[in-house]
Amino acid sequence: MRTSRVSRETAQIVNALSSERRRSTRQSLQAFADDRAGAEGQEVEEKVAPDAVIRQDDDDSSSLSSLGSLGKRKREDDTSTPRKAAVLEATTVRRAPRKALKTEDAEYNQDNTAFPRKPRRQPAQHIKGPNGAVTVEPPPNWAEVYNITAAMRKRIIAPVDTMGCESLAEEHRSPRDQRLQTLVSLMLSSQTKDTVTAAAMKNLQENMPGGFTLESLIAVEPAVLNELIGKVGFHNNKTKYLKATATILRYKHNDDIPSTIEGLVSLPGVGPKMAYLCMSAAWGRTEGIGVDVHVHRITNLWGWHKTATPEQTRAELEAWLPREKWHEINHLLVGLGQTVCLPVGRRCGDCDLAEKGLCPGAEVRKGSPRKKVKRELEVKVEDGEVATKSEEVKVEADDVAVKVEAESGDLGHVEVQAAAGATADIEDAVK
């Protein structure tokens, strides 16, 4: 049968390719068999081989032979020639010696000043007994932390020490009126600074018709009451709460505030923290811990527990903290939170707990931020004249804070941190 020239050439190309593939497959199988046979009876040592190095010489034949040997793995290092030894030396991976671990118990800032390492958090332990009863073991160093904090608070006067809700009632009033004023001051303090709360209470005491009593609170117009407490947070809602509370006290509690936690919490605008503080200050009975955001935040920073809400914090603290400290811990930590352990920008450099390495939440700063301030210097010039020269100097940020030293008959020499170091007394939200 006659075929075209194109068909014949195509058939020749296909046959050539098929024969080449068969030869390549046979050669690969033969090489594999030879390698297996040569490896029998020999012990193979695993080594870290250097990366493959391709030698390309000027001679084309040597380049082809080098490329052809890339597919084969050398089982032993060939250092028969100086050049091969140099290649092996250049491609050998060397491990750097491991650095010695730092074992000191301090970190250092830019001025080479040592900071103690943060202690490990050691919260209270809940231990379940054989009969199913759960006992709570307090944190191991809680007493030391508490005592150091109490000593530190004696040196620094906070707004809560002079304008706290417990000290705002008029002393010349009857016990019933004092209890009412204590309750009202607590209601006004929610999400309000102590200074603003004290000013609002002063307005009520001086401008209420007939003085600050239950009768005057019932008789006052809501608009007038709202104006008197207009500086406190959420004053519109608090005006409604105060008017409703006055009516409830008149008809349900015999013109006096409730003497139980349940009765206090039932009043509009009164939460658990206010109720426990009011029970201690007004009735002299400590039935629980008043936990606000300062107590909740600081005790979690100390690692005494890991809680999400103030009520959880109260339950954890009451499980192990001695009862005689239930009333004072609120006053202690609120003052600390207002002056040193601020919600934003904590002054850990001024805290004795951070200095002694007792606070796991301490912020160890590697270098204090600096601010530029102007200072005036007296410079003597010719003819004995004195001129004033101003210059900018860099000082530490903490040095710019306003601090006032004062003398107190009860506390001795103390240090009062003024507006630059004070912070808003953020309490629990209004119900």
Q: Which domains are assigned to the chain?
A: 125-366+402-417 (1.10.340.30), 370-400 (no CATH)
- Provide the pLDDT confidence category of residue 411 given band limits of 50, 70 and 90: very low
> Would you state the pLDDT for residue 423?
40
- Check pLDDT > 90 for residue 425: no
Catalytic entry in 84, 118, 273, 372: 273
Does residue 1 or residue 370 have the better pLDDT? 1
Q: What is the pLDDT of residue 277?
A: 95
Looking at per-residue pLDDT, the higher value among 57 and 330 belongs to 330
Say whether pLDDT at 333 is over 80. Answer: yes
Over residues 294-314, the mean pLDDT reads 95
By C-alpha distance, which of 288, 308, 286, 289 is closest to 297?
Answer: 308
Quote helix, strand, coil % in the chain, to nearest 5.
45, 10, 40
| Residue 273 known to be catalytic | yes
Mean pLDDT, rounded, for 310-327? 95
| CA distance linking residue 330 with residue 314, whole number of Å | 11
C-alpha dist (Å) from residue 155 to 159, 229, 333, 398, 414: 13, 33, 14, 18, 5
Q: pLDDT band at 131, cuts 50/70/90?
A: confident
pLDDT band at residue 117 using 50, 70 and 90 as cut-offs: low
Contacts of 52 (CB under 8 A, 6+ apart): 70
Hey, what amino acid is at 284? G
pTM: 0.60
Which pLDDT value is given to residue 365?
A: 56
pLDDT band at 289 (very low <50, low <70, confident <90, very high): very high
The CA distance from 185 to 166, in Å, is 8
| Polymer length of the chain | 431
With the CA atoms of 33, 37, 42 and 48 taken in that order, what torsion angle do they form, in degrees rounded to the nearest 10? -10
Q: How many CB atoms lie within 10 A of CB 381?
A: 9
63-98 pLDDT, tens digit per residue, is: 444 444 444 454 544 555 565 555 555 555 455 454
- CB 354: neighbour CB atoms within 10 A? 22
Among residues of the chain, what percentage have pLDDT more than 70?
59
